[in-house]
Chains A and B, each alone.
Chain A
């Protein structure tokens, strides 16, 4: 798959503070990329540089092969953007707001009406198409923002915190909508968020940003292994812990790390190794009290980087 979004050593400093620090990012066509990180990690700044709205201090940002700083118009034609605090002209109707976007993109009048109608249909706002946006709820405005992107039919869509400030029901609808359009329109979507479980639900690949750097990046399943030395964590309680036993457990195929905490043993492993561990304990004459397994959610990984901040 060709790379659609690319940054090479992208850096941005504001009055000596580095917001984005030598970021290298590659997103392939058709991906639904989850862009994670605490507030202030540099996600929005990265997106703004990719869109050519902010100039990088150094480094290059490219969308669809076009340099975002040198050819912003071509880049903007290819990409749709939903800012974090998305706004519409409140005293104009939903239809008018979308038609304005369509016209700014140079669509013919005939196409404008068709696209706007279709887009409102997809996000389920057809019934309020001729109501002023001022009367819309926050969730409706967010859906209208998605429609605003659909009108443009871009190659890449950047959604900055599209679920902030809406109720759980709305969040679910929103996430379904995003994954649906990504699939149906074959659109590359970059979803920026600090809400981990939402990203986890729909994104295939995630990148976690912290202090302007990409600290972890990869497919969801692989991430666990890299970050904490295993996808599963087995917690074992024994009457007595001997170093021989620890050594023996370490030798089991698939065990990545063993850690002792009080009378507990924490074993990180790539798959569910409880039977093998139990046998090893028995073979080493250990007395097993109880054994629990946890699978790592991305949450643990994420929290790890949050704590580091």
Chain B
């Protein structure tokens, strides 16, 4: 236990004092503040006395050219996670500190657990403070305080975002164990992120067209879109994006936004928003999936690291 706590404290101090952290924090904060500022501007014009969930709209409204706060978070969290994890183990190997560290009387898993925990805490602190700062800014700009339900929804959003960050951190650490060169492991993790963020939609479309080509009838078109969605849900980015949309936009009733539009089904649905419990029920499978992906990443890293032998050069 002492080993784990010592490694954790050191890594946490390293993370918080690193330039890397300062740059990432500034980047995410800047994006958050700008997005909220613009969103607040466009919300103020539309708010009427009966509007509900005005405060949440602050996080999901995109104002003009600038994406919403949520879009920024979806985009940036992977970078934060990867940046904190990609050199966790291989930099210690290359600097010759790993063999010195492992010759101390600590269990080997204390090293990897300590590093992972420190990364998660760093992400948590970073996201919490940014969300609080943005909330404060939003409060001043639109003058509507969040309702208790909105606050709870924001809290769950924060938790989910931290788990999402933990997945990317785990992925970074995974590559830092398997790839000896720091630059290579950074590139590999970023390649995965780019793949999921930008190419996944295209690939899902291709697969869907192959498996269930969209024909003339509405049925085949729906089928095509469904398959496409299922394929896209392999991606943790997609999972998080869908889950957060449901959580922060209570009016949204199903995951398939495109489906709603395409079929016009949205028109037949009741305009009343979902209750918090129902929303959570809706996003639960998605969150579990992200957690499972994180656990898989971590488990592979863990097994590989525990079995790895320290070799004479």
A and B pair up? yes
How far apart are the CA atoms of A51 and B102 in the complex, in Å?
A: 10
- With A87-B95, A88-B97, A100-B6 as given contacts, are A44 and B312 in contact (CB-CB < 8 Å)? yes
Interface pair A54/B95, CB less than 8 Å apart? no
Taking the complex as formed, is B309 at the interface, i.e. its CB lies under 8 A from any CB of chain A? Answer: yes
A residues within 8 A CB of B3?
104
Contact with A along B58-94 (1 / 0, CB 8 A): 0000000000000000000000000000000000000
Q: Give the distance to chain B from A19, nearest Cβ to Cβ, in Å.
A: 7
Interface pair B310/A48, CB less than 8 Å apart? yes
Taking the complex as formed, is A272 at the interface, i.e. its CB lies under 8 A from any CB of chain B? Answer: no
How far apart are the CA atoms of A87 and B107 in the complex, in Å?
A: 20
Contact with B along A85-106 (1 / 0, CB 8 A): 1111110000000001101111
Taking the complex as formed, is A83 at the interface, i.e. its CB lies under 8 A from any CB of chain B? Answer: yes
How far apart are the CA atoms of A106 and B3 in the complex, in Å?
A: 8
Taking the complex as formed, is B272 at the interface, i.e. its CB lies under 8 A from any CB of chain A? Answer: no
- With A104-B3, A104-B6 as given contacts, are A53 and B103 in contact (CB-CB < 8 Å)? yes
- With A44-B312, A48-B312, A104-B6 as given contacts, are A87 and B96 in contact (CB-CB < 8 Å)? yes
Contact with B along A43-74 (1 / 0, CB 8 A): 01100100101110000000000000000011
How far apart are the CA atoms of A275 and B220 in the complex, in Å?
A: 111
Interface pair B95/A76, CB less than 8 Å apart? no
How far apart are the CA atoms of A90 and B94 in the complex, in Å?
A: 12
A residues within 8 A CB of B2?
103-104, 106
Q: Give the contacting residue for A81; candidates B7, B100, B106, B309; CB below 8 A.
A: B100
B residues within 8 A CB of A84?
313
CB-nearest residue of chain A relative to B93?
Answer: A87
CB-nearest residue of chain B relative to A97?
Answer: B97
A residues within 8 A CB of B313?
44, 84-85
Taking the complex as formed, is B99 at the interface, i.e. its CB lies under 8 A from any CB of chain A? Answer: yes
How far apart are the CA atoms of A195 and B101 in the complex, in Å?
A: 27
A residues within 8 A CB of B103?
51, 53, 76, 79-81, 83
A residues within 8 A CB of B95?
87-90
Interface pair B96/A85, CB less than 8 Å apart? yes
Q: By DSSP majority rule, is chain A's interface helix, strand, loop, or mixed? A: mixed
Interface pair A86/B105, CB less than 8 Å apart? no
Interface pair B101/A104, CB less than 8 Å apart? yes
Interface residue ranges of A116-161 to B (CB < 8 Å): 145, 148, 152
Interface pair B309/A55, CB less than 8 Å apart? yes
- With A87-B100, A88-B97 as given contacts, are A104 and B106 in contact (CB-CB < 8 Å)? yes
CB-nearest residue of chain B relative to A80?
Answer: B103
Q: Give the contacting residue for A100; candidates B10, B99, B312; CB below 8 A.
A: B10
CB-nearest residue of chain B relative to A107?
Answer: B2
Q: Give the contacting residue for A87; candidates B97, B106, B312; CB below 8 A.
A: B97
Q: Give the contacting residue for B104; candidates A55, A82, A104; CB below 8 A.
A: A104
Taking the complex as formed, is A22 at the interface, i.e. its CB lies under 8 A from any CB of chain B? Answer: no
- With A81-B100, A90-B95 as given contacts, are A104 and B105 in contact (CB-CB < 8 Å)? yes
Contact with B along A157-185 (1 / 0, CB 8 A): 00000000000000000000000000000
A residues within 8 A CB of B310?
48, 53-54
Q: Give the distance to chain B from A136, nearest Cβ to Cβ, in Å.
A: 13
CB-nearest residue of chain A relative to B104?
Answer: A104
How far apart are the CA atoms of A57 and B101 in the complex, in Å?
A: 24
Interface residue ranges of B98-123 to A (CB < 8 Å): 99-107
How far apart are the CA atoms of A80 and B100 in the complex, in Å?
A: 9
Interface pair B96/A76, CB less than 8 Å apart? no
How far apart are the CA atoms of A73 and B96 in the complex, in Å?
A: 20
How far apart are the CA atoms of A51 and B103 in the complex, in Å?
A: 7
Interface pair B104/A105, CB less than 8 Å apart? yes
Contact with A along B1-27 (1 / 0, CB 8 A): 011001100100010000000000000
Interface pair A19/B99, CB less than 8 Å apart? no
A residues within 8 A CB of B7?
104
Interface pair A53/B10, CB less than 8 Å apart? no
Q: Give the contacting residue for A53; candidates B14, B96, B105, B309; CB below 8 A.
A: B309
B residues within 8 A CB of A79?
103
Q: Give the distance to chain B from A188, nearest Cβ to Cβ, in Å.
A: 16
Taking the complex as formed, is A186 at the interface, i.e. its CB lies under 8 A from any CB of chain B? Answer: no
How far apart are the CA atoms of A55 and B310 in the complex, in Å?
A: 9
Interface pair A106/B105, CB less than 8 Å apart? yes
Name A residues whose Cβ lies closer than 8 Å to a Cβ of B. Answer: 14, 19, 44-45, 48, 51, 53-55, 73-74, 76-77, 79-90, 100-101, 103-106, 145, 148, 152
Question: Could you list 19 examples of A-B contacts with CB < 8 Å?
Answer: A19-B312, A48-B309, A51-B103, A53-B99, A53-B309, A54-B310, A55-B309, A73-B107, A77-B105, A81-B99, A81-B103, A82-B100, A83-B96, A83-B100, A84-B313, A85-B313, A104-B2, A104-B101, A104-B105
A sample of 20 more A-B contacts (CB under 8 A), given A80-B103, A87-B95, is A19-B312, A51-B103, A53-B310, A54-B311, A73-B105, A76-B103, A76-B105, A76-B106, A81-B100, A83-B96, A83-B103, A86-B96, A87-B100, A89-B97, A101-B104, A104-B6, A105-B105, A106-B2, A106-B105, A145-B100
Name B residues whose Cβ lies closer than 8 Å to a Cβ of A. Answer: 2-3, 6-7, 10, 14, 95-97, 99-107, 309-313
Smallest CB-CB A-B distances: 8 pairs? A87-B96, A44-B312, A87-B95, A81-B103, A53-B310, A104-B104, A77-B105, A76-B105
